Structure 1
């Protein structure tokens, strides 16, 4: 009798202190627990469970819960069903490890306002006794693997929509090195977009929400793709290149010159409106869908602003100080026939004994001859406003008197997901070379300098007499991993971190120019390369 009374009392006590819990709160917590168990629980990380199916089975039970106490009870029962976790004592190692833990935050597992005390204890125990062997769902590198593959993504099925969000959110939570640099905390992004996953206003709104989630990474390497997204924004693009200056689109070159001629598009044309909308308004309207580490990188992305569903577009533009309106053709990508071959000179001698190198086309086989030609030049200009061909280490051997450190990197610690480890050793650039090049090393950069371009700039920047001229780079260095989350939905983001040797960030900041120079509308119209001109001026007078 006494035992029955005690049980009733305990139940009444628990009920009196339990609180209502919203659907968003429940599903956000479920997402976190599901991902945590996926990468921490030894009986899950070994691949012995169909982890997607486990999610589909637990979701109806989660939906039935009304209070935090009921929710905790369901989660605890689920964790118990996974089998016992054995306690272990970590081996004491004499090896010194330099950890990077700005991304590691499992404090949510101890949220007693949401979880019961016993659930908090279970989650903590799992963290302390996490898997010590090989991860089944991710491997060093980073590469996600062994996910259940589906014949199609059922976007009308709430469970499938939740699975997609849960997978992606946890990929980023544990394996995106720059999570701590996001403008918005990743936890808040989950809470913000769960309602649009649970009950999307429309199919278009659902897919647009995925694009917005991707943009929240603030990573120029990030990209979210799906046919429905392409259908919404359109697949027809322009035949010319533009640069955004003062909320106007200035034509700077051609993807296909003959098609641009048909449309009478000329370099220097200033486009002010597209289909009646001002360029500035289009940017404001679409910026939430555009992935980029910084504003310069966002403006460099012409999609979705210049894409459309129709093969024509009406533009308002200024030419020779006269404003006009006309209709131009837009083209499917396959019909643009873009020639990616760069036939520009690899390197050439400018006036005043100044060397110029186009890093987009220079190869490692060219480096020796290039440096021989320029060995007596007082300055060499390396143009990195493009994507180089892996020549940075070869060039650096000529620019430095001795090996130099230029980078510091972090890699994911798969034994403690969310934590990273500073690499013990980095390959320096340069070599012992008493006959190294002693002139000015001038690097040109801008928003088109991304990833390996920025890595190249970091390599060459450590030369004794180096200077960077131009504008902010794309701010996204490190490996770009592109993968399919679920059938027909693919994405990408940076998977290891790159920093300066003093551990200062490159991500989002990019390569900061010593002398900032940005092209002007007038300069483009006059056919000038104002950044190169400023570099030549520096080469001549040293300032």
Structure 2
């Protein structure tokens, strides 16, 4: 009796599997994952022995016609079988000297996807176990400025947004670039599988060019990486517009304080003053407006996304906007002008020294202004100060960690890098050799080393801050940094769509993460509205106070 019951259960399961209806979104999401997996794992595809894009275009109508899970699995199995027999090719044993990183590797979907028959899952598992081990046709680490590079990807110069198969190809490419080669996939806010399911309808069947373009932008922003964003020439008119106000703001809490005026004469036309607090734009609070545009603004964390979003918030395509603002505790409304970028003739910036000695014998260095060749002279003049404040809040020049040679008595490890393991896409490994700074120097600087950081401390700036942190008497002061340390790789997805992301992981020597977190200040200083109105540099003021009394 038990055997008969079991038999009928198995038959019922097969009937249920075969008859279950599937949606277009489910089919395309599963196909995106299979397409990418085969691209980097199948020996025929990964070796470049077939036109993989064309194979996708050929199978797409069959996938669209598959109405059940059984029919879908049959189509995908036939697609795989037509590539030829996969020979047994057991991967080489892992290098025992390598420190492997598995947090991004997840191939369980090949065995658990609800659209896959047991036979299809078995085929995918066999390909995984006998994956391609040669030089991949589509990706390598032979780049010059940035090692990782995607290659042999046709650009499709005649690409039109109305072409569904090319829209899907663009998404499939980007999704799989991220799936297998973005080192920080594991710290994203949203699971990458879920991001695919969510964005697919806007790519597969957009109601307009705008919906498609903004979906391509949004999927890249989901990486939560200050380096990651997709650009298209037609995107800007939807993203923020092509006209700008003549002022700049700093966001403090849920308010935008005018802190800079790009052009004095234009500011006078609208009677705008530094210190005015903008609370609404066209009737919408700045806080709500910021939330609305966050999904289109790159940023590893809210601090840097707020800075980037603040620029877009006031731009647009109309000549005027209405703002609500507070001046001298009085709330008012007015219309202000926007101008094309070329009409905003920016007032010349005030010149300031690259480095100087402040009161109380405190050195102050603007790292964004000091060229490499001037470092020896600078450090010679500052060697007898009681403290040196290194300002890294704007991108430093490429001093190549030379400053640290004057701050350390011996070489110090700064960071360790995480690289893609191209023999096993999705797996990574830590470089055996750590990046170092400093040298044997008994005459190293003995005073306090203070490092200023903020949202503008980005990428190389964060590495610079990490090198300065190695000094024996270093203190970091400021606010959360960009959280995107590591080389930024720029690449073309398809004609007209350029994108980027952080291409190698950067960790402290003890494997403490920097991505999204950034360089954590020892003393946090948050700007205040009063400070912004008075034009104060509150971070620098706090650093000077610390340099004087150590508190």
What interval of TM-score do these two structures reach, taking the shorter chain for normalisation?
over 0.9
- Measure the CA separation in 1 of the matches of 2:12 and 2:278: 70
Q: What does residue 272 of structure 1 align with? A: 279
CA contact (8 A) 2:362 2:387 kept: yes
Report whether the alignment pairs 1:290 with 2:297: yes
Q: CA deviation at 1:13?
A: 8.2
Scaled by the length of structure 2, the TM-score of the pair is: 0.92
Deviations 1:111-159 (A, max 9, x none): 2633122211211121122222111111212211211121233212222
- Measure the CA separation in 1 of the matches of 2:392 and 2:348: 17
Q: What does residue 116 of structure 1 align with? A: 117
- Measure the CA separation in 2 of the matches of 1:531 and 1:39: 48
Q: Alignment partner of 2:357: what SS?
A: strand
Report whether the alignment pairs 1:476 with 2:484: yes
Unaligned runs of 5+ in 2: 1-9, 142-146
Q: Alignment partner of 1:405: what SS?
A: strand
Q: CA deviation at 1:324?
A: 3.3
Deviations 1:302-340 (A, max 9, x none): 343121012332322222333333333323334435589
Scaled by the length of structure 1, the TM-score of the pair is: 0.94
Q: What does residue 242 of structure 1 align with? A: 249
Deviations 1:470-489 (A, max 9, x none): 11111111111222211112
Unaligned runs of 5+ in 1: 1-9
Q: Alignment partner of 1:228: what SS?
A: coil
Q: What does residue 7 of structure 1 align with? A: none
- Measure the CA separation in 1 of the matches of 2:13 and 2:357: 85
Q: What does residue 374 of structure 2 align with? A: 366
Report whether the alignment pairs 1:312 with 2:320: yes
The CA RMSD over aligned residues, in Å, is 2.1
Q: What does residue 393 of structure 1 align with? A: 401
CA contact (8 A) 2:259 2:535 kept: no
CA contact (8 A) 1:406 1:459 kept: yes
Report whether the alignment pairs 1:42 with 2:43: yes
More displaced 10-residue stretch of structure 1: 133-142 or 452-461: 133-142
Q: What does residue 156 of structure 2 align with? A: 150
- Measure the CA separation in 2 of the matches of 1:58 and 1:339: 58
Q: CA deviation at 1:240?
A: 2.5
Deviations 1:330-376 (A, max 9, x none): 23334435589884311000000000000110111111111111111
Q: What does residue 442 of structure 1 align with? A: 450
Q: CA deviation at 1:56?
A: 0.9
* Equivalent position to 1:417, from 411, 425, 438: 425
Q: CA deviation at 1:256?
A: 4.3
Q: CA deviation at 1:261?
A: 4.7
Alpha carbons of 1:385 and 1:258: their partners in 2 closer, same or farther (altered >3 Å)?
farther
Q: What does residue 55 of structure 2 align with? A: 54
CA contact (8 A) 1:152 1:488 kept: no
Alpha carbons of 1:426 and 1:257: their partners in 2 closer, same or farther (altered >3 Å)?
farther
1:116-515 matches, within 5 Å, as: 116-140=117-141, 141-232=147-238, 233-257=240-264, 259-301=266-308, 302-337=310-345, 343-515=351-523
Q: CA deviation at 1:392?
A: 5.0
- Measure the CA separation in 2 of the matches of 1:430 and 1:76: 57
CA contact (8 A) 1:392 1:459 kept: no
Alpha carbons of 1:334 and 1:106: their partners in 2 closer, same or farther (altered >3 Å)?
farther
- Measure the CA separation in 2 of the matches of 1:48 and 1:319: 68
Q: What does residue 3 of structure 1 align with? A: none
Deviations 1:54-103 (A, max 9, x none): 11111111111122221111111111111222212444576511111110
Alpha carbons of 1:342 and 1:128: their partners in 2 closer, same or farther (altered >3 Å)?
farther
Q: What does residue 32 of structure 1 align with? A: 33
Alpha carbons of 1:229 and 1:112: their partners in 2 closer, same or farther (altered >3 Å)?
closer
Q: Alignment partner of 2:414: what SS?
A: coil
Q: What does residue 144 of structure 2 align with? A: none
Q: How many residues align?
A: 534
Alpha carbons of 1:343 and 1:43: their partners in 2 closer, same or farther (altered >3 Å)?
farther
Q: What does residue 4 of structure 1 align with? A: none
Deviations 1:451-510 (A, max 9, x none): 111111111011110001111111111111222211112221111111111111100111
Alpha carbons of 1:464 and 1:12: their partners in 2 closer, same or farther (altered >3 Å)?
closer
Alpha carbons of 1:494 and 1:465: their partners in 2 closer, same or farther (altered >3 Å)?
same
- Measure the CA separation in 1 of the matches of 2:137 and 2:306: 39
